[in-house]
Amino acid sequence: MAELAILVPVYQREEGAIRAVRSVVSQAHQELSQGSLTLHVRDDASKSMDSERFKAQLLSIHPCISIDFNAVNLGMSANIRSMVLECKAAFCSILTDDDWLEPGSIDHLLSVIRRLENDRSHSVSSIFYPRYSYTESGAHACTSCRIASADVVFPSDPVTTMRLADKGYILTGLFFRPDLVDQEFWARYESNAFFPILYFASLLNRGSCIYFDKPLVHHTVFNLCHWEAWGATTQAQQERLCRDFLAAISLVYRYLKPRCRSLKDRILLWPPAMQAYRRRLVEMKGCVWHAPLRCIPKALWLEPRFLIPSVGSCTSP
């Protein structure tokens, strides 16, 4: 069994996918040849891609790259979920087609994974890195999902999971055990744009998370995004993203609540969920003010504990 699998979902970004693949092969050529690392590329029925040319380009980089093409477009979440479901490696990660791994990343990851493999008592479900985002020109835009200012191990418990959930929306930067993902939970809400929050919560519910406060992945922002399925206009897409984020936090809260072992944990579960709601409402204040019914999920309109504290967050910008 491979120690690490890098899964590269592709849609309409041929050059970006090739760059992502090169960032792996350039530092793991031998590991790919030996099978300790696998690299799987799956195109989600891109409209303007020559599949044979794309395949030939990838195989010229390394003959052990696995490549396949969906006959029909599944959408981002379903495409990635199918890749994770089929993955047999000890750990895997999503490397999107506009990101790449920084030099030295593979050596670092394999050393961590091997240390874990030698510790039979470990209960680690995931390895988490902050997201360092850059513009296409290479300028640093922001750092997000930085859940701590130092390396730390987060325990597996519902309250910790809820506290970290709203930072768990990353794809690239989370390395995890595919066998510990709650596939049923993910599949049930597969259409949610913030599906990474759902599977990250299920992972942390089943094992601890090691956080390293270091840049491992180069994430690209302010580039062309193919979000047509989320709305025909930028406004519609922003409304969808706001609604789905709030819904994801609500789903995680409901997922974790019956898993609390005490009344105290149930009580402590609500404040971090409320804080996540409020942060998003403040961030998306303009969008929410213009279209509150489209930005806030129906289920939350029926939740007094959400509505009453959130009134101030939805006031005019």
The closest alpha carbon to 177, from 129, 126, 122, belongs to 126
Contacts of 311 by beta carbon, 8 Å cutoff, 6+ apart: none
Phi, psi values for residue 218, rounded to 5°: -95, 110
How does pLDDT run across 245-259, given as a tens digit for each residue?
Answer: 999 999 999 999 999
CA angle, corner 60, sides to 56 and 62, nearest 5?
A: 120
CA angle, corner 150, sides to 173 and 105, nearest 5?
A: 35
- Helices 195-206 and 158-165, packing angle to 10 deg: 160
N-to-C CA span, the chain: 54
How many CA atoms lie within 13 Å of 42's alpha carbon, on the beta-carbon side? 23
Which CATH number is correct for 1-121, 3.20.20.140, 3.30.450.40, 3.90.550.10, 3.20.20.70?
Answer: 3.90.550.10
Q: Round to whole Å and give the CA distance between 35 and 8.
A: 17
Other beta carbons less than 10 A from residue 153's beta carbon:
9
How does pLDDT run across 10-25, given as a tens digit for each residue?
Answer: 999 999 999 999 999 9
Q: Round to whole Å and give the CA distance between 231 and 227.
A: 7
Quick one: how many helices (H) and strands (E) in the chain? 13, 12
Sign, CA dihedral 78-83-87-93, equals negative
Residue 7, Ramachandran bin (φ over 0: left; ψ between -120 and 50: alpha; else beta):
beta
How many CA atoms lie within 13 Å of 106's alpha carbon, on the beta-carbon side? 24
The ranges assigned to domains in the chain are 1-121, 231-311
pLDDT at 317: 43
The closest alpha carbon to 181, from 155, 158, 204, belongs to 204
Structure-token pair, residue 81: 């979920």
Q: Round to whole Å and give the CA distance between 272 and 228.
A: 32
Q: Round to whole Å and give the CA distance between 231 and 239.
A: 9
Beta-strand relationship, 124-128 and 174-176: antiparallel
Which strands sit side by side in the sheet containing 217-220, from one edge to the other?
Answer: 100-101, 217-220, 131-134, 140-144
How many CA atoms lie within 13 Å of 81's alpha carbon, on the beta-carbon side? 24
3-state helix, strand, coil in the chain (%, to 5): 50, 15, 35
pLDDT at 122: 78
CA angle, corner 124, sides to 94 and 129, nearest 5?
A: 45
pTM listed for this prediction: 0.92
Which residue has 């930005």 as its token pair?
Answer: 295
Other beta carbons less than 10 A from residue 286's beta carbon:
11
pLDDT at 48: 83
Residue segments in the chain with a per-residue pLDDT below the cut of 50: 311-312, 315-317
pLDDT at 225: 65
Q: Round to whole Å and give the CA distance between 125 and 148.
A: 18
